[in-house]
Chains A and B, each alone.
Chain A
Amino acid sequence: QKEVEQDPGPLSVPEGAIVSLNCTYSNSAFQYFMWYRQYSRKGPELLMYTYSSGNKEDGRFTAQVDKSSKYISLFIRDSQPSDSATYLCAMIRITGNQFYFGTGTSLTVIP
């Protein structure tokens, strides 16, 4: 079983829709969670990072962590064509040095 599972999609939504991207994980020692956006042939860009359960909001993006279910989500409100990219989740133990990544979800926002 992989440490981090992420549905690869592809996910296609109309402009203005709310997008929900999700990852599940198996190791309860993961404490710090990140979401990256990666455009084609570019390096991943850090979007959001959270520590502990709960919600964190930044503009149109909301990151949610549910440690009891080992489930994290990224919500994108009022999605735009420029949001079309692959979204990667990542996590790390507080005492660890290695990051664990999902395989990424490909998102297309249609104008």
Chain B
Amino acid sequence: DGGITQSPKYLFRKEGQNVTLSCEQNLNHDAMYWYRQDPGQGLRLIYYSQIVNDFQKGDIAEGYSVSREKKESFPLTVTSAQKNPTAFYLCASRMVAGSSYEQYFGPGTRLTVT
């Protein structure tokens, strides 16, 4: 099955610890995105990457880091510098070439930091 996988589904961490969220896609999509979703605030862009070894900050990149070493993978690290890390994190991807602009989402990771 083609799609986007995120793991784990639920993640619990203590304050002060870094944590890495996994995102893998087998859709052969070029671009990958990380969003954060909080109640009443919609989706906010953290980072995105159009090609391997290149990525750009989104609106709320502070306290987060990413890497794009492979086309299929775009892991997100939530660092201890992120003041309010508890949220629902969504990974997405899309084709860049051609006239297709549809973006597809993974199932999400719910991170709770106490």
Contact = CB atoms under 8 A, between A and B. Distances in A.
Interface of A: 8, 32, 34, 36, 41-46, 49, 51, 88, 90, 92, 94, 97-99, 101-104
Given A43-B106, A104-B42, A97 B48 contact: yes
Contacts of A98: 45, 48, 58
The binding surface of chain B is classed by DSSP as: strand
Interface in B65-114: 88, 90, 99, 101-108, 110
B50 to A, nearest CB: 6
The 6 closest A-B pairs by CB, nearest first: A103-B42, A43-B105, A32-B101, A101-B43, A43-B107, A44-B105
B105 A45 contact: yes
Contacts of A42: 107-108
B66 to A, nearest CB: 15
Contacts, number: 51
9 contacts: A41-B88, A43-B6, A43-B108, A46-B102, A51-B99, A88-B43, A97-B31, A103-B41, A104-B42
Contact of A88 (B33, B41, B42): B42
Given A44-B90, A97-B56, A102-B42, A90 B103 contact: yes
Contacts of B110: 41
A92 B31 CA distance: 14
Given A32-B101, A34-B102, 13 more contacts: A36-B105, A42-B107, A43-B4, A43-B6, A43-B90, A43-B105, A43-B106, A45-B105, A46-B105, A98-B48, A99-B33, A101-B42, A103-B42
